[in-house]
């Protein structure tokens, strides 16, 4: 058997022409409010996948939950930045071993350019392996790995170690098939997708995504839903991941991030009957990384 098809959905055995989607919640473990939102969605089978941030204060809480709920797709949101003004975190590695990842306050840098300017690929690899190993030591079996704020796509060398680590652990990463259309799309979004990065992607041997999106923002909840419906309608055949950042509304969340309103709406929208019905009407097929890897291994054995 082998991988045959015009896109990764078809290669994995989904019907020809189908639009296959992973609704994926990021930033789990960042705070209790994010954990609560993710747990509710997963228990109600309203989303397919989440990723938890190992260096963050509420990682242990969600790791313990995931051990008791192993049927759900839980991955690792590999984290090399700490973007909020007053709510910060640092490396799992010994800080002496990864000095390029740490700012003058001894936390991760706020933004991706700070990481790229100061951290070597060797330091990045050491830290992402430490995060994976910490999760495994907590009893987790990560179903996938991805990258907080896109940092591991911040340079070709970072992407190289990201892809390498995924293959070493046999844990699929959120690697997008670098077609010319995808390269142009993400270059236009500011990602430095060089020919070198594309060559590393071509050597990656685990399943890939055909495309990748974030849930759009909106000035009102209704506006946000309208923008999301437009995104769903625009999806082309293939395997797409759509990420969002749900959190329950609290005063604590409002002190952490000025994006709290979008996050609160995202904690509501996928249990909204209008959203559920819209995706049914559009014929969307849902999957997760567990199923993707099962299909991949069946097709390639």
10-19: average pLDDT: 97
pLDDT digits (tens, 9 = 90+) for 22-39: 999 999 999 999 999 999
> Has residue 81 got a pLDDT over 60?
yes
> Has residue 2 got a pLDDT over 80?
no
Q: How does residue 203 score in pLDDT terms, banded at 50, 70 and 90? A: very high
| C-beta neighbour count of 1 within 10 angstroms | 8
| C-beta neighbour count of 301 within 10 angstroms | 6
The token pair that represents 193 in the structure block: 């997708």
291, 297 Cβ separation under 8 angstroms: no
pLDDT digits (tens, 9 = 90+) for 131-187: 999 999 999 999 999 999 999 999 999 999 999 999 999 999 999 999 999 999 999
Q: How does residue 236 score in pLDDT terms, banded at 50, 70 and 90? A: very high
Which CATH number does 8-79+143-300 carry? 3.20.20.370
pLDDT of residue 301: 86
Arithmetic mean of pLDDT over the chain: 97
Q: Where are the alpha helices (DSSP H) in the chain?
A: 8-11, 32-43, 59-68, 112-118, 121-137, 156-169, 180-188, 195-202, 221-234, 251-256, 260-266, 273-281, 289-300
pLDDT of residue 1: 57
- Calculate the alpha carbon distances from 207 to 60, 73, 77, 195, 275 in Å: 29, 16, 18, 20, 28
| C-beta neighbour count of 256 within 10 angstroms | 19
The token pair that represents 258 in the structure block: 């000025």
Share of the chain above pLDDT 70, in %: 100
pLDDT digits (tens, 9 = 90+) for 115-147: 999 999 999 999 999 999 999 999 999 999 999
Spell out the residues 6+ positions from residue 160 whose beta carbon is closer than 8 angstroms to its own: 121, 197, 200
């Amino acid at each position: 058997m082998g991988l045959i098809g015009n896109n990764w959905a078809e290669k994995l055995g989904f019907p020809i022409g189908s639009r296959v989607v992973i609704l994926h919640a990021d930033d789990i473990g960042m705070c209790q409010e994010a954990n609560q939102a993710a747990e509710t969605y997963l228990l109600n089978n309203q989303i397919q996948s989440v990723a938890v941030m190992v260096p963050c204060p509420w990682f242990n809480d969600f790791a313990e939950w995931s051990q008791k709920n192993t049927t759900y797709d839980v991955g690792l949101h590999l984290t090399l930045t700490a973007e909020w003004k007053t709510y910060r975190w640092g490396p799992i590695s010994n800080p002496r071993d990864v000095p390029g990842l740490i700012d003058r306050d001894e936390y991760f840098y706020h933004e991706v350019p700070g990481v790229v300017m100061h951290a070597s690929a060797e330091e990045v690899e050491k830290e992402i392996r430490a995060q994976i190993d910490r999760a495994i030591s907590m009893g987790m079996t990560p179903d996938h790995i991805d990258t907080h704020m896109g940092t591991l796509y911040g340079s070709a060398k970072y992407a190289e170690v990201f892809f390498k680590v995924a293959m070493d652990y046999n844990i699929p990463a959120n690697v997008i098939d670098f077609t010319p259309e995808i390269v142009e799309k993400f270059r236009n979004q500011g990602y430095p997708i060089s020919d070198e990065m594309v060559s590393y992607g071509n050597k990656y041997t685990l399943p890939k995504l055909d495309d990748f999106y974030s849930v759009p923002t909106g000035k009102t909840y209704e506006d946000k839903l309208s923008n999301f419906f437009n995104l769903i309608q625009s999806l082309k055949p293939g395997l797409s991941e759509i990420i969002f950042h749900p959190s329950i509304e609290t005063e604590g969340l409002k002190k952490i991030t000025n994006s709290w309103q979008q996050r609160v709406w995202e904690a509501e929208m996928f249990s909204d009957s209008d959203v559920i019905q819209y995706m049914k009407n559009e014929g969307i097929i849902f999957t997760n990384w567990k199923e993707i890897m099962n299909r991949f291994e069946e097709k390639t054995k």
